Amino acid sequence: MTTAQTPALDVIVVGSGIAGLITALHAVEHGCRVTLVTKDVLEHANTRYAQGGIAGVMFDDDHIEDHVRDTLTAGAGLSDPVAVRVLAEEGPARIRELVELGVAFDRDAEGAFVKGLEAAHSYPRILHSGGDATGTAIEKALVARLRVSDVRVIEHAFLVDLVVRDARVTGVELLVDDRPAELGRRETLESDAVVLATGGAGELYAHTTNPPVATGDGIAAAIRAGGAVADLEFFQFHPTVLEGKADAAGSGADSFLVSEAVRGEGATLIDEHGRRFAFDAHPDGELAPRDVVARAIARQMEQQDGRPVFLDATHLRATPDETAAFLARRFPTIDRAVRERGLDWAREPIPVTPAAHYLMGGVTTDLFGRTSLPSLYAVGEVARTGVHGANRLASNSLLEGAVFGARAGDAIVPDAASGVWPAADALAGSSGLASASRPAGDTLPAADAPPFSRDALQQLLWEDAGLVRDGAGLGHAASVLAAWAAVARSPRTEAEFEDENLLVVAEALVGAALVRRESVGAHFRRDDAVRHETPVATLTAEVA
Ligand code: SIN
């Protein structure tokens, strides 16, 4: 290991979203030799699909305390208050850093940032760029900076596994795409520290807002290496994705996200008869926490035999033409996608359904991205920092990536100089591998396990471990997953490795969901008696 006097540490960052890019840029500033590897090209991370924006206390009449409170409330009591305070307090500095790095957040005629409101925020503290293209703007600016930095970049390099030696993570094993050869070649890269920034796992589900790269690779690698993970039962479903596919592909994801910011501007949710139904579930209606709105939509869809509900933006301005002009200006990406599907949302409500969106849990970290495995860090969606608890507050994800990415990038040199990797002891006991302790009796025989495939896994999780779960469904999912896991396979292609990763993460998710018998935040069990926010009438109907 190098020392503070000779700080040429080798650091490998795996992943190229906001968290990985910020970590790499900070680590290289501290004199590290940074290699960033990514399984696609740099720009193809989940970050670029983020529409709504980035939350932060950037206005004089907003308060850190309020951002902290909103985040804790959305997290349904399971967030780590210290991590939340770090997020809110350091957020503004990170947003200013993004501005310095070239991110042009939208401003009004006077040059002030335009304020955006999203669900469960008590103040319109969301900054956006290009209307609804915030993630793209951030990704572009950070990639541009990275390309002129000393960070070495290896694209099309898939993380097969972490290398663990003497109880430390000492590198990564990669499958490097050697186009046009089909299988790529295996390579091992050694390093002093590895940072997982591999994003989430939306590909676990049949319907997701995530691009196809979101296959839980970092979480699976950490689990295989014996790292602690937590909160995997908390998968957030976004309430509003556009029903139906575009003729021309408008997105890398199969379900096109319609930002919560549209509801923040005043759009409403209506059933197929035109009735607003969100207030049945929560006094804040369409702007209630995301998990509440998503379940309200799912319940409404059930009552109308699975047909989608509608998002009505037709009244946002005085006339349809004015509304059309406003929507095209404020939400250019969504406007294009809606129109590609032959819909005119200035004149008619558009069909929307929920889809898997964001994994709150992940590889357990401390406040500097350190994991339970010495010299392994995790940042961004792959990490479980404790910020999101049981349900992430809208637009806190880009912020989390920036804040904790910077912290990890700043921590590596002093951690190495200290000669110890401080997180190991603190986190060793917090393993979220609840699948190892499945309650007896919840697992059913898997007589009906179909052959293993990604489609079959996605359908299984959608049906049995989705927005609404119960013990029987989870037990069924657990037994099918166990049957699939018991069959020895030898993955050779990137897609096959991804499938194995999805299986590992699915088992851990379902195991954790089985263990948590109460409904909280995004984890909603219909067989649970504790329903904090569900109106009694709905509860009675569901139970019946
Ligand atoms: C959205 O724009 O609705 C998504 C933003 C987020 O997930 O925070």
Work out which ligand 1 atom sits closest to the CA atom of 240. 3
Read off φ and ψ for residue 129, nearest 5 degrees: -140, 140
Ligand 1 centroid – CA 53 distance (Å): 7
Is 105 domain-assigned?
Answer: yes
pLDDT tens for 435-464 read 334 444 445 555 578 999 999 999 999 999
Is 4 domain-assigned?
Answer: no
Same domain, 429 and 443: no
Work out which ligand 1 atom sits closest to the CA atom of 357. 7
Ligand 1 centroid – CA 67 distance (Å): 16
CATH number at residue 455: 1.20.58.100
Is 2 domain-assigned?
Answer: no
Tokens of 416: 């190495």
Domain boundary among 310, 333, 356: 356
Is 5 domain-assigned?
Answer: no
Exposed / middle / buried, residue 455 (Cβ in 10 Å: 0-12, 13-18, 19+): exposed
Work out which ligand 1 atom sits closest to the CA atom of 395. 8
Please tell me whether residue 322 adopts helix, strand or coil conformation.
helix
Is 544 domain-assigned?
Answer: no
Q: How far apart are CA 45 and CA 184, in angstroms?
A: 21
In the set 85, 125, 263, 290, the catalytic residue is 290
Same domain, 42 and 125: yes
Same domain, 448 and 307: no
To 10 degrees, what angle do helices 471-486 and 454-464 make? 160
User: Which value, to the nearest 10 degrees, does the dihedral of the CA atoms of residues 349, 51, 512, 84 take?
Assistant: -120
Tokens of 133: 């293209």
Domain boundary among 433, 460, 490: 433
Is 309 domain-assigned?
Answer: yes
pLDDT tens for 399-432 read 999 999 999 999 999 999 987 676 655 665 444 4
Cβ(287)–Cβ(119) under 8 Å? yes
Same domain, 330 and 254: yes
Please tell me whether residue 206 adopts helix, strand or coil conformation.
coil
Ligand 1 centroid – CA 240 distance (Å): 10
Q: Write down the pLDDT at residue 300.
A: 96
CATH number at residue 381: 3.50.50.60
Q: Strand pairing partners for 92?
A: none
Is 274 domain-assigned?
Answer: yes
Range of the domain at 201: 10-233+358-433
Same domain, 34 and 172: yes
Same domain, 407 and 417: yes
Same domain, 105 and 181: yes
Ligand 1 centroid – CA 393 distance (Å): 9
Nearest-CA residue for ligand 1 atom 1 is: 259
Regions of the chain short of the pLDDT cut 50: 1-4, 246-253, 429-442, 533-544
Ligand 1 centroid – CA 260 distance (Å): 6
Pocket test for ligand 1, best of 18, 256, 260 (most atoms within 8 A of CB): 260
Q: Write down the pLDDT at residue 440.
A: 47
Residues with a CB atom less than 6 Å from ligand 1: 50-52, 259-261, 358, 394-395, 397
Read off φ and ψ for residue 375, nearest 5 degrees: 65, 15
CATH number at residue 248: 3.90.700.10
Same domain, 82 and 51: yes
Pocket test for ligand 1, best of 125, 238, 291, 360 (most atoms within 8 A of CB): 238
Domain boundary among 305, 336, 356: 356
User: Which value, to the nearest 10 degrees, does the dihedral of the CA atoms of residues 181, 250, 234, 524 take?
Assistant: -130
Is 318 domain-assigned?
Answer: yes
Other CB atoms within 10 Å distance of the CB of residue 541: 12
Number of folded domains in the chain? 3
Which of 46, 40, 41, 39 lies closest to 19 in space, CA to CA? Answer: 46
Please tell me whether residue 353 adopts helix, strand or coil conformation.
strand
Task: Say if strands 54-55 and 33-37 run parallel, antiparallel, or are unpaired.
Answer: unpaired
Tokens of 213: 């790269």
Pocket test for ligand 1, best of 51, 54, 117, 129 (most atoms within 8 A of CB): 51
Q: Write down the pLDDT at residue 319.
A: 98
Other CB atoms within 10 Å distance of the CB of residue 92: 18
Written as one string, the DSSP assignment of 128-187 is -STTT-HHHHHHHHHHHHHHTSS-EEE-SEEEEEEEEETTEEEEEEEEE--TTSSS-EEE
Same domain, 171 and 265: no
307: annotated active-site residue: no
Same domain, 205 and 319: no
Same domain, 102 and 217: yes
Same domain, 58 and 193: yes
